[in-house]
Amino acid sequence: MSRNQRPAVVVVGSLHFDIMVDAPRRPRKGETVTGHAWRPKFGGKGGNQAVAAAKAGADARMAGAVGDDDFGKFLLKALGESGVDASHVSVLPGTGSGMSVAISDASGDYGAVIVSGANLKVDAALITSKQLWEGAQVVVLQNEMPETSNIEAARAARTAGASVCVNAAPYRPLSEEFASLIDVLVVNAIEAEELSGVPVSDLKSAARAAAGLIDRFQTVVVTAGGDGVVGLNRGEPPVSLPALPVKLVSTHGAGDAFVGALAHAMALKQSLKECLETANAAAANHVSAPAG
């Protein structure tokens, strides 16, 4: 399928140079733990989601910013090699690229610290460029970008007739202005609890959390890690899917793989159940493969 025949997914979001550290466990406060390996990795929720959308088959377009450093060169090269159109990613002189350090433990779980760098300085002119939005069906946004940038992108998407999918990660309160522009909200158990006040520990509680948010959003998707995922369209019964059985290697980036595949399925106008099945399979494939 040629590029102009593929559904167009725009990602306005973060780009991070990730340093992955493998250790038996994550350190406690004041503790030093001896790890056994480390490696550089392409990252940032926005970058990962754009790559996942391209992998799924979308015409994936990335808007964002990197610094004029070696990290930025690495990130741009990785986007190009993954089939993502990075022509709307600016290189900012005198600014460091975004980066993160993530520690993956023996169980496959992880913790991370991000430094946003250039991601906080994305030019609004890039976000509103007509070329970026030509033929776009879906835009994906995340909370690693300033809300002002997300609002600009959501408004541009609405003008272009594209659906607005927001992965509200990491958690922060959503202004009413931004919330009113969101078509599909995607949150994990922690973010769902913060936004709805409903603790999420399984699929039943995930469905309750989704129901607590559906008055604000047309569609809510709550991922519950190893338990699975729940999706809810306003006025319809919830769709609940268990996680697919796989051998867990690492959960790092699993949510981004889910969101990128979900966006591609949305752009194909699949039903909510079909979208969740596609995204669930992509996440399962991701967590069973080595991170990095």
The average confidence (pLDDT) of the chain is 93
Instruction: Indicate the pTM of the whole model.
Output: 0.91
Domain-located, residue 164: yes
Q: For residue 96, how many other CB atoms are within 10 A of its CB? A: 17
pLDDT band at 291 (very low <50, low <70, confident <90, very high): low
Give buried/exposed letters for 201-218 (b at 16+ CB in 10 A, else e): eebebbbbbbbbbbebbe
pLDDT value for 1: 45
Q: Which residue has better confidence, 284 or 152?
A: 152
Which is nearest to 230 in space by CA: 275, 263, 181? Answer: 275
d(CA 270, CA 231): 13
Residues 59, 69, 227, 256: which is the catalytic one? 256
pLDDT the model gives residue 289: 67
pLDDT for residue 2: 45
Could you give the CA distance from residue 51 to residue 17 in angstroms, rounded to a whole number?
14
Q: Is residue 209 part of a domain?
A: no
If you average pLDDT over residues 244-248, what whole number do you get? 76
Mean pLDDT of 31-39: 93
- In this predicted structure, the answer to whether residue 280 has a pLDDT above a threshold of 70 is yes
Provide mean pLDDT across the span 28-38: 93
152 falls within a domain: yes
Judge whether residue 117 has pLDDT over 90. Answer: yes
Confirm whether 65 is domain-assigned.
Answer: yes
Structural domain containing residue 131: 3-27+35-182+244-287
The CATH number for 121's domain is: 3.40.1190.20
Q: Is pLDDT above 60 for 274?
A: yes
pLDDT of residue 108: 78
Q: Is the peptide bond before 40 cis (omega within 30 degrees of 0)?
A: no
The H-assigned helical ranges of the chain are 45-56, 70-81, 124-127, 130-133, 147-160, 176-179, 189-196, 203-213, 254-267, 272-287
> Is residue 283 domain-resident?
yes
In a domain, 61, yes or no: yes
Is the residue at 275 inside a domain? Answer: yes
- Decide if 252 is inside a domain: yes
In total, how many domains does the chain have?
A: 1
**Is residue 256 among the annotated active site residues?**
yes
In the chain, the percentage of residues whose pLDDT exceeds 70 is: 96
